Amino acid sequence: MKNKKFLQRLAVVTAVSLMTVSSVQPLTAKAVSFPDEYVNHKKALKNATLRVGYASDEPFKGIFIDELDSDGKTSVMAAPGSASLFGYDNDGKYVAGGFGNVKFDRKNNTALISITKKARWSDGEPVTSRDAAYAYEIQANKDSNSPYYNEMLENIEGVKEYHEGKADKITGLEEKDSKHLLIHFKELTPAAEYAGSGYVANVAYPYHYLKDVPFDKLVSSDKVRKHPLFFGPYAIKKIVQGESIEWVPNKYYGGPKPKLAKIITEIVPLSQAATAMKSGKYDVLLNTSSATYNKIKDDKKLVTLGSLGTGITYLGFKVGHADKDGKSVMDKSLPISNRALRQAMAYAMNVEAVTKKFGHGVTKHANTLISPNYGTYHDKSVKAYNFNLKKANELLGKAGFKRGKDGYRTQPNGKKLVLTMLDQKGSESNVAARANYIQLWKKVGLNVKLYSGKALEYNNYLDVLSSNKKHNFDLWISVWSLPPEPTSYPSYISAPTSELNYGHFTSKENDKLVAQMNSQKAFNTKYRIQQMHKWQQYMQKEAYVVPLYYQYDLETVGKNVKNISADATDVKYNLWDQVALTK
């Protein structure tokens, strides 16, 4: 279940946290950086209870098998009990040292999963190869209705037949003995070696405990929702559905002895989060929003930890449409297909200053579509589109977009130029951000109107965004939440046949780079990183999708907490067994 982040939903929401800006004005503010761990040298208390709040206005769903359904909150709140099956490095590549290890055999297209003896469920039973195989069966069985059954899974031999009900077993899953599972793939690519690629599941589920529950009843069963088993440092003692979870040490845990007597994780309403932390009600606040951070940043008893997420907020341009086979086709005749126009629009946005000033500094201006969270795969040498009205004007002038008498520019062919922006209904700050961008575009002579004249409700917005219609809008701002496998963006979002390629850009160069980064040659990590860097440079130059900013994942902790790290809720090793409380 630790692989929540692997299964993170794609959130297509506009998420620009800004306040109303009624006119274009100079904006200045200091950048903020966050530590990712808090060092506390005091002696740990014995028999302490750690109280953890998760800031949200909605109850958690409480489905403790992510493959069946994942609401994010449940997975993060389940972190004290969850543990990754495998370990991996800062780039997301599997390394030895977890509760299990995975070894790939490129020659035979197999992966051998070995489970160590130290891995035991919270009922004392050992974690077995059957439990690891069961995770694939849950995802693939038709009756479990998992939304995460996908083509990557079909890469395992026999999965398709099992899903279609033609076979009782997945032939590609060979249980060598109780601790070894050999997976036979149709094809192995370099992505397989990375967490979140979809090749190997970084989880196991207790088959001995769940085998009597039919697949169609799993999601609603008490064994999954009320009394789930874990092999992490803590086990659930009690759950109040949607509200809170009480954890006690898992006495069969194979790692270091947990330091706390009890952990209580509970939902704290957003409106109360800051007050609750200031009053000391919680020791840790997960999912700290920028607004909450702004209210508690000066409190001497608290520290806010942060790590940049894998997601990205971006400006997208719709430069094509999908043909009847669903394949993206570029519309070269569209004004927005002109690279200079796209680049000029990017240069005219004062992203850095606006987000720093009004987003309370919890964002980082993005220079590429791949976040620094991906380690060496992020190309820091790529230059961001920094606010430069002069350059924007120059680019437009050179490309033939001349200013008319009304101050607005016309197309190179002399026709009127009006660009349509698709926008999603959101907070006041979203309205302000959009208004600011439109005003700045106006400053360089670009007339940008809203689709339908207004921001659309989420479902409506998504309908329009994902429609295959020809030229119904030109640009939009949105967010991608991405899995930790570094090539997930290029592979899934920029592919010509991908339904997620909302802008429908496609080019031979893009296809070539994407193919190279997952070619057999790319098993050489250095080569793979090189291809990824090339792809980032290419995308930045073409500006089909302009990266705007990366968001920090924030976690606030009291100074009485020891061994806490922002990584505790991230994809790295599980660290909850180390967390302790001091005076």
Partner 1 sequence: MWKIILRRVLLMIPELVLLSIVIFLIAKLMPGDPFTGMITPQTSPAQIEALRVKAGVYDPWYLQYWHWIVRMVHGDLGMSYQFKTPVGSLILSRMGNTIWLHLLTLILSYSLAIPLGLIAGRYENSRLDKGIMIYTFVAYAIPSFVFYLLGVWLFGYKLRWFPTSGSVSVDVTGTLGYILSRLDHMILPACLMAVLSVTAVVQYLRSEVIDNKNQDYVKTARAKGVPEKTIFTHHIFRNSLLPIAAFLGYSITGLLGGSIFIEQIFNYPGMGLLFMNSILNRDYSVITALVLLYGTMTLIGSLLSDIILSLVDPRVRIE
**Residues near partner 1, by CB under 8 A:** 6-12, 57-59, 61, 63, 68-69, 145-151, 198, 219-220, 225, 238-246, 262, 264, 266-269, 271-272, 275-276, 279, 281, 457-460, 462-463, 466, 481-483, 488-489, 491-493, 499-500
Tell me the DSSP string of 435-464.
HHHHHHHHHTT-EEEEGGGSPBPHHHHHHH
* In the complex, least distance from residue 55 CB atom to partner 1, rounded to whole angstroms: 10
d(CA 453, CA 12): 20
* In the complex, least distance from residue 72 CB atom to partner 1, rounded to whole angstroms: 12
Using left for φ > 0, alpha for ψ between -120 and 50, and beta otherwise, residue 120 falls in beta
Burial of 187 (0-12, 13-18, 19+ CB in 10 A): exposed
* In the complex, least distance from residue 121 CB atom to partner 1, rounded to whole angstroms: 22
* In the complex, least distance from residue 209 CB atom to partner 1, rounded to whole angstroms: 19
Closer by beta carbon to partner 1, 104 or else 148: 148
Q: Residue by residue, what is the 3-state secondary structure of 84-95?
A: CCCEECCCCEEE
Closer by beta carbon to partner 1, 89 or else 463: 463
Helices (H), 147-282: 151-154, 159-163, 207-210, 215-218, 222-225, 270-278
Closer by beta carbon to partner 1, 350 or else 487: 487
Closer by beta carbon to partner 1, 62 or else 335: 62
d(CA 227, CA 212): 15
d(CA 7, CA 70): 8
Closer by beta carbon to partner 1, 419 or else 482: 482
Closer by beta carbon to partner 1, 326 or else 404: 326
* In the complex, least distance from residue 484 CB atom to partner 1, rounded to whole angstroms: 11
What are the beta bridge partners of residue 477? 315
Closer by beta carbon to partner 1, 460 or else 520: 460
* In the complex, least distance from residue 337 CB atom to partner 1, rounded to whole angstroms: 25
β 49-55/262-268 pair status: parallel
Tell me the DSSP string of 272-305.
HHHHHHHTTS-SEEEEE-HHHHHHHTT-TTEEEE
* In the complex, least distance from residue 304 CB atom to partner 1, rounded to whole angstroms: 20
